[in-house]
Structures are given as C-alpha cells and as structure tokens.
Amino acid sequence: MTLEFRSVVKRSKGETLIHAASFTLAPTGFNVLLGATNAGKTTLIKLMAGLDRPTKGEILLNGKDLTRLPPQRRNVSLVHQFFVNYPHLSVFENIASPLRVARVPGADIRRRVHEAAELLRLTPFLERRPSALSGGQQQRTALARAIVKSSDLVLLDEPLANLDYKLREELRDQLPRLFEGRGAIVVYATSEPSEALMLGGHTATVSQGRVTQFGPTATLYRAPQDLETARVFSDPPINVAPIRKSGDRLHLGDSVAWPAAGTALATVPDGAYTVGVKPHFVLPGGDAAGTVPVTGRIQITELSGSESIAHFDLDGRSWVSQSHGIHPYQVGDLHTFHIEIRGCLYFRPDGTRVTA
C-alpha cells in the first residue's frame, strides 16, 4: 500500500500553504511530518484526510486517484491534537461510531470495540462520557476510534502535544505497537525532533509549506540534504554561520580556521559556503584531535537534567553548545568551546548540502 503526493499545491486566501509537495508514503513504520507550528503539517494532514482539496496536483492511494474524494469515501482515521470525542456519547459508542456508520453487525462491533479498548486500557471506562475522563484517557479514546476501523491511512496530528510529560512518554511507547501489523499507512505530525527520532520510520521535514526532504528518519537526521532540513531537525537549533574556503583552509570569521582536507569541502572550488554545526558537536571540554577552539562570551545558560546548554556570542552570532554533565558556566564570562570538525555540515549558498 502506498500514498503518493504528486506536486500537490494548496493555496488559500492568496497564500500558498503547500508548495508542490511530492512524496510517497509506505506502511512500514511511522511516517513523521516534522516541522514547526504553522509549517503546514496540519494542512498536509487535511489534504490526506480529504478535509481539504489541493489547488493543484494529485493524491493517489495504491495508484488510485483520490484527490477529489471526500473523507467519507477514503477510509482514513484521524486523531487531533485536541482531544476530540463525541461528548454526548459514551466511550463505547465513541469507539464504535465509525463501525456503526459502516453498518457493521452489532456482535462484531462489540468484539472489535472491546479489543481496541483492551489495547488502550479503556475497558473500565466504556460506560462513561468522555468528559468524565482524564486528558490521557480522552486521547486514548480518540486513538481507539482510529484503530477500531481498519483504515488504509491513520493520521495522527500531534496527538501527544497536549498531554503532560509522563503520559506522553507512556503513550508514545505504545503507539508503534498499536499500529504494527495493521498494514495501514501511519502519518504522525510533530514539532519535536526528538519525537521523530524515537518513532523512527520515515520523516518528512516541513518548513514554510515546503516538504524539504523525505526519507528514513536516521538519514535525515545525520545527513540532511539541505540547510532547511537540518534546521528543522535540530533542537536546540543548529548553529549556522558563513564560512569561506580559500586554498586548503576553511575560515570561520577572522580568527577561526581549520583544514579543508578530510571535510566535504576538500574538493570544491574556493568561495563562500555555510557551515552548520549541531549543538552537541560544540563542546566545552578541552583540546582534542579533530576539534577547533572558539571563544565567546556566555549569554544564557540552561540546565536540563544531565545536560548543560550554553548560548554564547561568536562574531556577532549566537551559538549554542549542548553537552553531557553539568558545567559551571557564568553568564558574561569568556569561555572556549571546541567544535568537532566531523560534526560540521557544509552547505552551498543556495542551501543544498555539499557531500564529499
């Protein structure tokens, strides 16, 4: 089973929400749509569900054109970021509703609803109204409704964003197992890079209405094809700075330089490029082989559990360093960080990445 977008364009009120998106989704693992708020993830999901029509382009399921089909005739399931259930129906009827509409026989409905409820640990609450449930249980009800019908396409639009931390982790662990072996194409929209990495599968990075890259999640993370993808897929944000190649040296600003040999820029002509360094390749530790020292004034420090994050100023740009352990940064101090050269990604002026 495949879901194919062929140069799908969506315009609304003079604004282009989606710029010619083309990709093919498969039922192996999750398909993550990763992007900031308002990047176009929800628009893509609505196009897949049939709640919105593309302005141009085609959407095909197994090669069959469903661009003009309404959601009722698409066999899709959808879970929203907000816990959306039918408030006037019991949890049982909420889960059963897609089956009732499809006129599935009663005994069958009972069996399938109980199965889904068991999977999502909702069995004790089947007679309650959704409003009598906690947020996590409400969202599990919505998920149960999404799995109870055998959809071709399951769309999860930031389903965990409104849950608190503990519930989110718990449900995220369950999610891949829930959909395993169902043969459905699962699309999962999120704004958190870490969530995409945890879910694995494939990822499409979305930025300002463009799908910048689609491929296996790990590949996108390690070897993004362009700067925008690297930006979307980095949290804390990736450090970006102009870099100049002259001869066999790469110059970052006036004072920092390292050899071009062994990097992706070894064989390209001299000129202006852009370097992108993920924060965990900018370390506070001492000198080591394959690192370049940079010194900057510390502006902001953050501690997140066992990680230290420091924002420092380098040639008028704000850089971020993320490292394990707790480092006693003092705001206002000059501190020398080391950039790991193997962690540098190089981009041409047009944003595409230079690969060796």
**Is there binding between residue 88 and other proteins (CB under 8 A)?**
yes
Give the whole-angstrom CA distance, residue 319 versus residue 298: 9
Site for other proteins in 162-181 (CB under 8 A): none
Residue 201 DSSP one-character state:
S
Tokens of 184: 């459905």
132 binds other proteins per the rule CB under 8 A: no
Nearer to other proteins, 145 or 311 (CB): 145
- 10 part of the interface to other proteins, by CB under 8 A: no
Can residue 159 be called a binding residue for other proteins (CB under 8 A)?
no
98 binds other proteins (CB under 8 A): yes
**Amino acid (one-letter) located at 245:** K
Instruction: Write down the least CB distance from residue 316 to other proteins, Å.
Output: 44
Q: Residue 59 in 3-state DSSP?
A: strand
Neighbour count for residue 204 (Cβ, 10 Å)? 27
CB 2 within 8 A of CB 160: no
Kindly provide the b/e burial profile for residues 82-107, where b requires at least 16 CB atoms within 10 angstroms of the residue's own CB: ebbbeeeebbbbbbbbbbeeeebeee
Closest CB 75 distance from other proteins, rounded Å: 8
Tokens of 13: 């009120």
What single-letter DSSP state applies at residue 269? Answer: P
54 makes contact with other proteins (CB under 8 A): no
Smallest distance, Å, CB 322 to other proteins? 36
Nearer to other proteins, 52 or 226 (CB): 52
Instruction: Please state, in angstroms and rounded to a whole number, the distance separating the CA atoms of residues 17 and 232.
Output: 17
Q: Does 23 bind other proteins (CB under 8 A)?
A: no
User: Footprint of other proteins on residues 268-307 (CB under 8 A)?
Assistant: none
Helix boundaries (H) for the chain: 41-49, 91-101, 106-119, 135-148, 165-179, 193-199, 217-222, 227-232
Q: Is 102 in the site for other proteins (CB under 8 A)?
A: yes
Which of 51, 257, 268, 292 is in the footprint of other proteins by CB under 8 A? 51
H-helix or E-strand spanning residue 321? strand 317-324
Q: How far is the CB of 102 from other proteins (least distance, A)?
A: 6
Q: Amino acid identity, residue 296? A: G
The footprint of other proteins on residues 56-85 (CB under 8 A) is: 70-72, 76-78, 80, 82, 84-85
Which segment (98-106, 109-117, 208-216, 297-305) binds other proteins by CB under 8 A?
98-106
The string of DSSP letters for 202-237 reads: EEEEEETTEEEEEEEHHHHHHS-SBHHHHHHT-SSP
Select from 46-54, 189-197, 300-308, 322-330 the region that touches other proteins (CB under 8 A).
46-54
Of 149 and 278, CB closest to other proteins:
149
13: left (phi over 0), alpha (psi -120 to 50) or beta: left
Q: Which stretch binds other proteins (CB under 8 A): 94-102, 107-115, 184-192, 247-255?
A: 94-102
Q: How far is the CB of 288 from other proteins (least distance, A)?
A: 52
- Is the distance from CB of 331 to CB of 299 less than 8 angstroms? yes
Using rule CB under 8 A, residue 183 touches other proteins: no
> Site size for other proteins, by CB under 8 A?
25
**In the bound complex, what is the minimum distance in angstroms from residue 302's beta carbon to other proteins?**
34
Q: How far is the CB of 188 from other proteins (least distance, A)?
A: 16
Choose between 159 and 279: whose C-beta lies nearer to other proteins: 159
Residues that bind other proteins in the complex, under the rule CB under 8 A: 46, 49-51, 70-72, 76-78, 80, 82, 84-88, 97-98, 101-102, 142, 145, 149, 155
